[in-house]
Structure 1
């Protein structure tokens, strides 16, 4: 099994609070790994450390064997790690198409060769991403005018257009109705089949169980358990922690 991204011993403190304590993870290509745990477990902080949005106090991260710890977020993105955020971070007053085109930015610098052919290729990538995400019909609408579910799928279309082979998705299915969740799950299954390594933070356990090949359970900044989803979710001690019934 090819491992796309690994991190070892990630740690980060905020003042006197150690939010992440020696977290180690491996993300295999063509699999979905779910980070599961109660609120405040450190899941989003782990994403922020991997992507350079926060500086780690300790630990390492590697993408296809090459160190990425210490790189800036845009450098990690260009290396092949795509990230979604809970607050989506769309360009609200740009069209859907232009939002997606922005994800192809590294191949669109004005000084790069290619001219009209390069622009056409970028547009084709954007159109394909919108089609795959099911938002081609609103390509000319502004992001701010979209319904909530459409904004979620716009966020996913940008990840598709970036052609990254590692996806870090933070609560991507939150707030979606059943039909939209099904669309989302189909999109991730297609990406997994193409060899993308996906790491998913998601509180909807139905989504987790439908998608995850493996689960890493975090609590108070530590990985308490890692393994097959059914085994993890059947563990009574982990269930008690997740649902706030710890002794």
Structure 2
């Protein structure tokens, strides 16, 4: 295969020959891929392709059956979710998992504290933490609503709160599971702008997305999964112009 421009980026995560089965069904089937620094890799494929399962294997929500995963060159094969977060790997979930009775600001602050190594904080560290929270709330457009309970936000605001919880941390790799699903056009344009700006500042993103407009608008690289298998991992136009992959994507397989 001819190397693409993204192939020269530093590899942050190496995924090699990873398998996961539920009963007799292979949810992830011998998947090997790299997540490279400073780009947005989009996982696409039909429902049941194994995309969320792969996220769960990376972060330790599930234990893989075989294969290896390395983060910054070190194996993380049996990592726990909280240790993955503290190592700089954070994710969002389709169901958001917000603390509904807490305020917007408390939700973000809780995320920062949960993903830090427990230790007494100095005054300068507390100041830095507050600045991170304020930054995230401003970027997500939620600073004016910082004292409102999470459950009282509109749907799009709840989605942006989930993003703010990640933005306030020092995570180097973001795993985003359909973060823009259900957003109106104006909101998802705002979402794309936030994501592009964060990547410019050094964040690496792997995102699960079904909205083709977002896939086209945000991806530096696309990994195409189907029935647990990785069918393609290349630059967007190469993947999107493949007639067989398009047929699978649009449910027109023979």
| Range of TM-score over shorter length | over 0.9
The superposition leaves residues 46-85 of structure 1 with CA deviations (integer Å, 9 ceiling, x where unpaired) of: 0000000000001111111111120100000100001000
* 2:185 paired with 1:178: yes
Query: How much does 1:99 deviate?
Result: 0.4
Give the TM-score normalised by the residue count of structure 2: 0.93
TM-score, reference length from structure 1:
0.96
| Structure 1: runs of 5+ lacking an equivalent | none
Q: 1:113 to 1:176 in 2, by over 3 A?
A: closer
Q: What residue number does 2:232 align with?
A: 225
Does the C-alpha gap of structure 1 residues 92 and 239 become closer, same or farther in structure 2, counting only changes over 3 Å? same
CA distance in 2, matches of 1:97, 1:139: 5
1:119 deviates by: 2.8
Q: 2:242 is matched with which residue?
A: 235
Task: Pick one of 120, 126, 135 that aligns with 1:128.
Answer: 135
2:26 matched residue in structure 1: 18
CA offsets, 1:77-109, max 9 Å, x none?
A: 100001000000001100000100012115484
Please provide the CA RMSD for this pair: 1.2
1:17 to partner: Cα distance: 0.8
Aligned: 1:32 with 2:40: yes
Check conservation: 1:5, 1:166, Cα contact below 8 A: no
* C-alpha contact 1:108 1:122 (8 A) present in aligned 2: no
Match of 1:212 among 205, 211, 219: 219
* 1:245 aligned onto 2:249: no
CA contact (8 A) 2:33 2:233 kept: no
Distance of 1:128 and 1:113 partners within structure 2: 20
Whole-angstrom CA distance in 2 between matches of 1:219 and 1:97: 39
**Which one of 11, 27, 30 corresponds to residue 3 of structure 1?**
11
* Cα deviations by residue, 1:3-57 (Å, 9 ceiling, x for unpaired): 1112111110001111110111211111000101000000000000000000000
Match status 1:57 vs 2:65? yes
Q: Please, which of 72, 76, 81 is the counterpart of residue 84 of structure 2?
A: 76
Q: 2:55 aligns with which of 47, 62, 69?
A: 47
The equivalent of 2:199 in structure 1 is: 192
Residue in structure 2 matched with residue 137 of structure 1 by the alignment = 144
Q: Tell me, in whole angstroms, the C-alpha distance in 1 between the residues paired with 2:39 and 2:121.
A: 36
Question: C-alpha separation between the residues in 1 aligned to 2:10 and 2:161?
Answer: 29
